Structure 1
Amino acid sequence: MPSSVAPDVPRAEYPRPQMVRPDWLNLNGPWQFEIDAGDTGLERGLRERDLAGTITVPYAPESELSGIGNTDFMPAVWYRRTVTIPAEWAGRRTLLHFGAVDHDATVWVNGVEVVRHRGGFSPFTADLSGVARPGEEATIVVRARDSRHGPQARGKQSTRYHNYECLYTRTTGIWQTVWLEPVPDVHLRRPRITPDVAGSAFTVVAPLSANRPGNSVRVTVSDPDGVVVAGTVRADIDLSPTVRLELPAGRVRLWEPGDGFLYDVKIELLDAAGAVIDAVDSYAGLRSVSIDGKRLLINGKPVFQRLVLDQGYYPDGLMTAPSDEALLRDIELSLAAGFNGARLHQKVFEERFLYHADRLGYLVWGEFGDWGSHAEGEHKHTASFVTQWLEVLERDVSHPSIIGWCPLNETGQVIHDHLTHLDDVTRGMFLATKLADPTRPVIDASGYSHRVPETDVYDSHNYEQEPEAFAEQLSGLSKDQPYVNDIEGRPISVPYRGQPYFVSEYGGIWWNPELAGTEQAADRSTSWGYGQRVRTEEEFHERFAGLTGVLLDDPDMFGYCYTQLTDVFQEENGIYRFDRSTKLDVSRVRAAQTREAAYERTASEG
């Protein structure tokens, strides 16, 4: 962490743990702020003047931690801050980074527009060259627009004034770290590190901003005992120099579920004399994902995936974790309850969460927050959905904890005699994912409508609450006739073709111990969950064990995902409360699901 980060700066940790440079300036903290209810701020001169209030970045204005706490709709909001670019950065370009701004952002620096970006889940950057130099002041102005209407990748953000069912308080504007970083004129861009377990090697692609005669890229891989292997390639004729590094036999250690061993990786751009022009520190895990019939294998072994649905919301920060420790704590709570991973649901999580998952060997399915695409009763995905998803893939592709991708969730097109708009979007996002990352399996759309015949994984969402009925519905998998979601009895998916299969949402058991036996127990406007609310904690454990046991006992099922890790506002089906305190005997939850699965037993017998 640089010395320029003051101790009272919120979320002061380095925000991009797989591409670390020593020099940077965290811009979190107080910014001028103003709500623009009519989205007329540009006409009224908000870009040129001081703003009326103050907000604490990186927390959204709807959150308590922002100091605003306004949960009404805000069509546009404005931010303003003046900073001095460190003089010691002279001779280098200054980059202005935004972790995420919801939803449409325009950024001006010293009155000059430097970047526009659409999408609330992916990062973007502005180069301040020619606008503000080291040693000078830079006045940064941000306008974020967040429409209530029309298609938009919102995830779980409510389009009504109130929260309801499984939709929550909105997030508008800046909600992840803002920071400055100096880079040389020719510099390294985001590296891509691909593990090769079969070859005991890593392939490192190091994209460059430009080439110069005599330049080279050197990559060094280290473990706690020191340098393991290093390699150098020319960087003067290729914008993406590639280095393959084979690990010596005695220094090979896999990244495993529950054992997140990571190698340190240093990437350096050198000039013709061998002097370092630019350097970044990264890390990598040696891990593979493969498919063998109905088996989804990690490092060539069948690992039963005991996943939990994680919404990533916090009472005081909403989509922004109040601290880096809170991100880590959520993983620890999940592991304590017996889960070995999570489906990161309808939100692209902060990259720091993935860093902790990498370190702990925590399995993750990466997902896009595509809910909110409905307009006039239909899915109306726009080109920005694909654009944002590609930005997410670029950011996260090197994280070993991610073992699969899911660009869409619960799409509901009915089979027609012609292609639909959503068919094109579904196939386009599937192909874009496979092109960006051919190393991981991809679910074309989780639950409901599978429209891509070659989808790597087939899944369903099933919230049946009675274990016997649940078992009957799921009994056909061994005959290649698994449970498939439909809409009012109408088929919405292409046929199952023997892919690895799991129930990627189940349970959602509705339980609030404080409401047990009260008249409020049946009031879904203040407390919401799936199916019939259990009456006692004992009934919860019996139902959880029964439903989970059906999935554990199916030898053709490679995993499951239970809904969900925590309560979120009115949705009270979490293993933990919204504030992360205990509401159940977690040891019983753990015991119900950590017994050997039939999938694991079959593998050991084979």
Structure 2
Amino acid sequence: MKITFISSFLVLFSFGLKAQTIPLPEHPRPDFERTDWVNLNGKWEFEFDSLSKGDDQNWSKGTAKFSKTINVPFPWGAPLSGVKDEADIAWYQKNITVPESFKNKRSFITIGASDWETTVWLDGNLLGKHQGGYTPFSFDITPFVKYGSAQKLVIKVDDKRREFTLYGKQGYGNARGIWQTIYLEARGNSFLDYVHFTPDIDQNKIKVSGEIIGGDSKDNVLKIKVKDRSEALTFSVPKGQNMFEFTFDVPNAKLWTLENPYLYETEVTWGDDVVKTYFAMRKISVANLPGTDIPYVALNNKPIYLQLTLDQSYHPEGFYTFPTDEFMKNEIQLCKNIGLNGLRTHIKVDVPRKLYWADKLGLLVMADLPNFWGEPDAQAQKESEFTLRQMIRRDYNHPAIFSWIVFNETWGLRTKVKNETTGKVESQYLPKTQNWVASMYYLAKSLDQTRLAEDNSICCGAGHTETDINSWHEYLPGYEWEAHMQKIDKGTYPGSSFHFEKGFTQGNQPMINSECGNVWGYDGSTGDVDWSYDYHRMMNTFRVHPKMSGWLYTEHHDVINEWNGYWRFDRTMKYTGVGDLAKGMTDKDFHSLVYLSNGQDITHTVKANEEVSVPIFVSVMEDINMVDKVFLVEYTLEGVNQIGNTVKVGEGKLNLPFEPWMQKAFDPLKIKMPETNGVYTLTFTLKDSKGGTVYHKNFVSFVVTDGKLPAGVSIIEKAANAYSDAKWSLKKWEVMGGKKVNGAGNGSFTYTFEGKSSGAKSGYLLMELGAKELFFKDRAGSEIKNTDYMLGAKAEPSQNQNSYPMTDEKKFPSNLKVFVDGALVKTVTLEDDPADHRGILSWHNQLQNRKLSEAGSYGYMVKIPLTKAQIKTLDKTGKLSVKLNVDSGGGLAVYGKEFGRYAFDPSIVLVK
């Protein structure tokens, strides 16, 4: 189990770095690339300027000796940069050579992003100053270039904290200084500043618009060469005109879809300036879910059920900057691998190459404007407006982006004012600020009418103003979702003021849950905990409420204060274990567009031989075509009973009528429970009628009680906490009144079983046991003192009192020796101290008080045959002593019948 922050260099990515002569050698803008360019990433001389003396000492001339070396473009303080974060101001310098091939053109230096105030000199000549932290900027170096000769480039970055700058979530790791690729490029003497493509799939046309800098070209003709098109398109630009706009046909257009994300590679030429770019034929709009009046976001006029994840877009070693292009590609592929169709880049203008891979692989993106943490004063408003304009300008051609989000959870939008009634100073979301937020929505729409825009992704009592998406955030325990979704359904309709500020009301916007999960659903958050059990409850609930047109789970990967990602911070795996509970099921089944839901409750306590009614709801979020209009549902009930045997109880089939886009509840399935206690899982497989295509797998579990043992079997049980002796070197404690007992370090638990064999011919010890790591939360003085989570609280993943780190690639094994009446009978390696969906009882028996107690934890079934001599000893003395001893330091957890994975206490099972 992982319990500490990853500080070592990541092996997974270090190989890729070593294979590169410089970091991120690829062109940073596949959407706007010139052939003549030179990547300046790599080693630069570097110096901190904590006393702000560099200007007075003329460091800009490039003659000063700097004492450090930084690896650009990683922000200073990030491990991959090679320097620690020691000051707010720093200087970079490097000898560069502008190639001879740049002659007869204009030469520029471009920095992809640098936070916050960046000043650049070449051979002591001031090139310019830029303020802002997220978007690219360029300076013309042509007047000062000595082609083919070494010159000194000097850069100063001032990243002092300012309340109005868009700091975002940099508490996860500051983006200080240069954090995107820096490069030289040759442009035409008159050149293209930007080129935007606006597709119209309904008319099979595309509009191309842009801006020219530097006056007329020789023939004032704009040429556009589209791949797979035999002839270049030419358009005349009137002399003296710097803006252009033309439309051309795209016959037999290949649409950009999530399954086939086709990109039209394009070359745009203006005089001696040539830019390689691309566009896609796709449309973002709103359309009703067929057969309903429920609005959904639509891709190419077809409604799409949004299944997204919140992407903090952070790397543990590079912070804002990823180590390789392959890593960025993999970020997108990971989402597609588990069936997600989009992500929301959270409070960060993301790296263009990562957006390129979303375009290339077919994944939708919601793009956030980063937030400031001060108040919404004039400076903050100016900074926000500038960055919004620049991000839309830069990223206009990325088909993956389907919406712009201007603000998140009203961060930075509250103003301190004195309450005239109480006299107290309060932070309020003032009407004038709400009007400014609405104006920012309109600004986004004026800059880009091809996408949706959202004023504020709301939470915590604030509402919407003007918006294209009726979004909301809610973090809940899994058991609270059904009641909440009923409330949401009731409050969502045109004209409703629910989730809107005073003076604003709902229109016909798609309604989505744009942040959810259990991380903040429990008091003080969960810490590191199995995400899959509550997630399963949540997905089951969402699919029976189609009025909500999509959801967004927090989050893609762990960060330094939240450990509820699908993947670890280093992008290694977490394991849900659903395939062990329902054969053939994967995490992707949670995101199937065809989904069979049994409702919110995924584990039920029932009585033996009881006939149980199981809800059946089928949600179809696509227009699949089946000739016979019938679904085949196969189901199987099997599990492990209280004597440790795997039992197949029954199976059957259902035929359900099908329609595309169907959202329908069917008659419940009646199924009889087995006669023996245990945990049993009812697995559903949804197929086409011929059984050739499997659309979805799901399951619901039953804890059977009040049953009887199989004929000829008897058991002697001891509660997990009914040990006769215990000694542990680090700590011993009980969980939830003794449902589980833990011993950390080296030591033992001894159980004395009392009873008679009653003529048994054979028998075995039966226990559920796991290793036991001493997590941070179980140590003295473990309380989390820094609770400023939004800015990156420093805490261990297992420090939160609700936490129990989820099963992942790192194991914590324990070597166990089992003694019966003093004789060693078995040595067992307990592979790990796991916690995931397989810990059904540990989840099912949690108190519904918004706190967690070792939720999802479970052990391994240990069966040890008894000898005839041991059975005779039991008959003779009426007791048998079992000592569970660990001397490897791995600890031991003993699970009772109401905790873990299996419904049995430590037992002796006797068979006649």
Structure-2 change in CA distance of 1:83 and 1:532 (3 Å): closer
Structure-2 change in CA distance of 1:452 and 1:579 (3 Å): closer
Counting aligned pairs with the same residue, the percent is 27
C-alpha distance in 1 between matches for 2:503 and 2:68 = 51
Residues 460 and 485 of structure 1 are in contact (CA less than 8 Å); yes or no, is this contact kept in structure 2?
A: no
C-alpha distance in 2 between matches for 1:493 and 1:39 = 49
Match of 2:451 among 406, 423, 440: 440
Residues 347 and 370 of structure 2 are in contact (CA less than 8 Å); yes or no, is this contact kept in structure 1?
A: yes
Per-residue Cα deviation, 1:189-244 (whole angstroms, up to 9, x for no partner)? 22101111111122111421122463110112223xx5387343335343222232
Higher strand proportion? 2
339-348 or 409-418, which deviates more:
409-418
Q: Which amino acid aligns with 1:579?
A: D
Q: Determine if the alignment matches structure 1 residue 219 to structure 2 residue 224.
A: yes
C-alpha distance in 2 between matches for 1:354 and 1:493 = 37
What displacement does 1:40 show? 3.2
Structure-2 change in CA distance of 1:560 and 1:255 (3 Å): same
What displacement does 1:400 show? 0.5
Q: Which amino acid aligns with 2:482?
A: A
Partner of 1:290: 285
C-alpha distance in 2 between matches for 1:380 and 1:410 = 20
Residues 327 and 352 of structure 1 are in contact (CA less than 8 Å); yes or no, is this contact kept in structure 2?
A: yes
C-alpha distance in 2 between matches for 1:589 and 1:202 = 39
- Match of 1:548, SS? helix
Partner of 2:374: 374
Q: Which amino acid aligns with 1:438?
A: Q
Q: Determine if the alignment matches structure 1 residue 65 to structure 2 residue 80.
A: yes
Structure-2 change in CA distance of 1:184 and 1:599 (3 Å): same
147-156 or 431-440, which deviates more:
147-156
- Match of 2:274, SS? strand
Match of 1:428 among 433, 439, 449: 439
Partner of 1:241: 244
Q: Determine if the alignment matches structure 1 residue 555 to structure 2 residue 546.
A: yes
Per-residue Cα deviation, 1:523-550 (whole angstroms, up to 9, x for no partner)? xxxxx99744686x4xx42211111222
Residues 96 and 151 of structure 2 are in contact (CA less than 8 Å); yes or no, is this contact kept in structure 1?
A: yes
C-alpha distance in 2 between matches for 1:484 and 1:530 = 30
C-alpha distance in 2 between matches for 1:58 and 1:141 = 15
Q: Which amino acid aligns with 1:589?
A: D
Q: Structure 1: state its 5+ residue gaps.
A: 1-5, 159-167, 271-276, 512-527
Residues 480 and 496 of structure 1 are in contact (CA less than 8 Å); yes or no, is this contact kept in structure 2?
A: no
Q: Which amino acid aligns with 1:496?
A: Q
Structure-2 change in CA distance of 1:309 and 1:233 (3 Å): same
Match of 1:189 among 179, 187, 193: 193
Partner of 1:154: 167
C-alpha distance in 2 between matches for 1:414 and 1:279 = 47
Residues 118 and 384 of structure 1 are in contact (CA less than 8 Å); yes or no, is this contact kept in structure 2?
A: no
Residues 41 and 72 of structure 2 are in contact (CA less than 8 Å); yes or no, is this contact kept in structure 1?
A: yes
In our comparison, the structure showing a higher alpha carbon Rg is 2
C-alpha distance in 2 between matches for 1:179 and 1:386 = 27
Residues 593 and 621 of structure 2 are in contact (CA less than 8 Å); yes or no, is this contact kept in structure 1?
A: no
Residues 528 and 562 of structure 2 are in contact (CA less than 8 Å); yes or no, is this contact kept in structure 1?
A: no
Q: Which amino acid aligns with 2:437?
A: T
Structure-2 change in CA distance of 1:543 and 1:194 (3 Å): same
Partner of 1:596: 594
Partner of 2:103: 90
Partner of 1:304: 305
- Match of 1:25, SS? strand
Partner of 1:53: 68
- Match of 1:115, SS? strand
Q: Determine if the alignment matches structure 1 residue 41 to structure 2 residue 51.
A: no
Match of 1:474 among 476, 479, 485: 485
Partner of 1:77: 90
Partner of 2:384: 385
After TM superposition, the structure 1 = structure 2 runs for residues 510-525 of structure 1, keeping only pairs within 5 Å, are none
C-alpha distance in 2 between matches for 1:460 and 1:58 = 36
Q: Which amino acid aligns with 1:18?
A: D
- Match of 1:258, SS? coil
Q: Which amino acid aligns with 1:581?
A: T
Partner of 2:700: none
What displacement does 1:82 show? 1.8
What displacement does 1:152 show? 1.7
Residues 88 and 159 of structure 2 are in contact (CA less than 8 Å); yes or no, is this contact kept in structure 1?
A: yes
Q: Which amino acid aligns with 1:433?
A: A
C-alpha distance in 2 between matches for 1:235 and 1:529 = 65
The Cα RMSD (Å) is: 3.0
Structure-2 change in CA distance of 1:380 and 1:219 (3 Å): closer
Partner of 1:119: 132
How many residues of Structure 1 are paired with residues of Structure 2 in the alignment?
555
396-405 or 45-54, which deviates more:
45-54
What displacement does 1:424 show? 4.8
After TM superposition, the structure 1 = structure 2 runs for residues 184-583 of structure 1, keeping only pairs within 5 Å, are 184-209=188-213, 210-212=215-217, 214-223=219-228, 226-227=229-230, 230-249=233-252, 252-270=253-271, 277-292=272-287, 294-370=295-371, 372-374=372-374, 381-411=380-410, 422-448=433-459, 453-467=465-479, 469-481=480-492, 494-509=504-519, 531-532=525-526, 537=530, 540-583=531-574
Per-residue Cα deviation, 1:81-140 (whole angstroms, up to 9, x for no partner)? 121111221111111000000111111222222121111111111011322243344322
Residues 97 and 150 of structure 2 are in contact (CA less than 8 Å); yes or no, is this contact kept in structure 1?
A: yes
C-alpha distance in 1 between matches for 2:254 and 2:524 = 43
Partner of 2:174: 170
Structure-2 change in CA distance of 1:507 and 1:89 (3 Å): same
Residues 88 and 158 of structure 2 are in contact (CA less than 8 Å); yes or no, is this contact kept in structure 1?
A: yes
Structure-2 change in CA distance of 1:67 and 1:82 (3 Å): same
- Match of 1:384, SS? helix
Query: Which structure has the higher relative contact order (CA within 8 Å, separation 6+)?
Result: 1
What displacement does 1:475 show? 1.9
- Give the TM-score taking structure 2 as reference length: 0.57
- Match of 2:30, SS? coil
Residues 451 and 494 of structure 1 are in contact (CA less than 8 Å); yes or no, is this contact kept in structure 2?
A: no
C-alpha distance in 2 between matches for 1:529 and 1:16 = 44
Residues 96 and 127 of structure 1 are in contact (CA less than 8 Å); yes or no, is this contact kept in structure 2?
A: yes
What displacement does 1:257 show? 1.6
Per-residue Cα deviation, 1:449-501 (whole angstroms, up to 9, x for no partner)? 7766431111111011234x222223244444389998xxx968943333111
What displacement does 1:429 show? 2.2
Residues 233 and 241 of structure 1 are in contact (CA less than 8 Å); yes or no, is this contact kept in structure 2?
A: no
Structure-2 change in CA distance of 1:578 and 1:492 (3 Å): farther
- Match of 2:161, SS? coil
Per-residue Cα deviation, 1:537-577 (whole angstroms, up to 9, x for no partner)? 4xx42211111222232222221110001111232111111
542-551 or 176-185, which deviates more:
542-551
Q: Determine if the alignment matches structure 1 residue 108 to structure 2 residue 129.
A: no
Structure-2 change in CA distance of 1:187 and 1:478 (3 Å): same
Structure-2 change in CA distance of 1:533 and 1:113 (3 Å): closer
- Match of 1:557, SS? coil
Per-residue Cα deviation, 1:273-315 (whole angstroms, up to 9, x for no partner)? xxxx222111111100112362211100011111011111111
- Match of 2:191, SS? coil
